[in-house]
Amino acid sequence: MVVSPIVQDEIEKAPENVRQFFDEITELAKFIDISEEALQLRKAYLDAGIVTPKSAADAFHVALATVAGCRLIISWNFKHIVDEVAGIYALDRLLPNIEVLSGTLIVFPSMNILACNANKRYINKDLNSVFPGHKNAKFYEFKLAQEIYEMVGREKVQYLLTLHESKYLYDPKKSGTIAQTIIYGVKPQPSYLTAWLDSVNNFTSDKEKFHPLYFPKEGSST
């Protein structure tokens, strides 16, 4: 368990029973300091509109956890932070280290920026479920989906990768378990995907290995 000064400040304002419980469990905790990297990451979240200024403290929690290398954040009061945002954090860490040698790389850290600014998953409809969309539709997400769909065609995109989250690690015996999977839509399975999976799985445990699945897959909106 990792504890930051932000957590400690919030605990001081909590009810006595919560403070007492916190004191008991912090014997097992690692205490971290506020770093410049965490401050910059919080600023990046706010500048990108991932959260609004009123949720700056929540952005700070996530930034500190990310810099500390935490693999799990437990939250009870900021679902706008924990609703499919792993891709955003991954891009924050990945983009500064990417060098484009040829072609063009297009990145959308937050697909539905209006929903992010409103601390919601969506405004009218879940964007994941409305592609290819419709420009004359009543709801905003349908229009946004159509714009994205047309942009992909206009830019003649060769490879398209969308990042999602799932509550459960992949288990072929259970439906709706799609975490740690790469869902693809062409046959045969691309050779570059096989090579990528082999490379990534060299650094993961057996339980967390990535698996290739052919689209469509139950529980996936890809």
**Rounded-to-integer distance, Cα 147 and Cα 114, Å:** 15
Residue 161, domain member (yes or no)? no
| Residues 174 and 139 occupy one common structural domain | no
| Residues 194 and 219 occupy one common structural domain | yes
Per-residue model confidence (pLDDT) at position 201: 92
| Residues 82 and 142 occupy one common structural domain | no
Residue 160, domain member (yes or no)? no
| Residues 49 and 125 occupy one common structural domain | no
DSSP one-letter string for 86-144: HHHHHHHHHGGG----SS-----S-S-HHHHHTTSS-SSS-GGGSTT--TT-SSHHHHH
- The continuous run of DSSP H or E covering 181 comes out as strand 181-184
Residue ending a domain, among 93, 119, 141, is: 93
Per-residue model confidence (pLDDT) at position 220: 54
Residue 77, domain member (yes or no)? yes
Average confidence (pLDDT) per 10 residues, the chain, 222 residues: 85 81 81 90 78 78 83 57 65 80 85 76 84 87 90 88 80 84 87 91 87 73 53
Per-residue model confidence (pLDDT) at position 12: 85
Residue ending a domain, among 58, 76, 93, is: 93
| Residues 12 and 83 occupy one common structural domain | yes
Range of the domain at 42: 2-93
User: Quick one: tokens of 98?
Assistant: 């990417």
Task: Note the pLDDT tens digit of each residue in 140-161.
Answer: 899 998 998 898 889 898 888 8
| Residues 122 and 146 occupy one common structural domain | yes
Residue 141, domain member (yes or no)? yes
Number of structural domains found in the chain? 3
Do residues 140 and 112 lie in contact, with contact meaning Cβ atoms separated by under 8 Å? no
User: Quick one: tokens of 70?
Assistant: 């935490």
Per-residue model confidence (pLDDT) at position 221: 53
| Residues 133 and 191 occupy one common structural domain | no
| Residues 28 and 61 occupy one common structural domain | yes
Residue 211, domain member (yes or no)? yes
| Residues 148 and 171 occupy one common structural domain | no
| Residues 63 and 123 occupy one common structural domain | no
Residue 74, domain member (yes or no)? yes
| Residues 7 and 87 occupy one common structural domain | yes
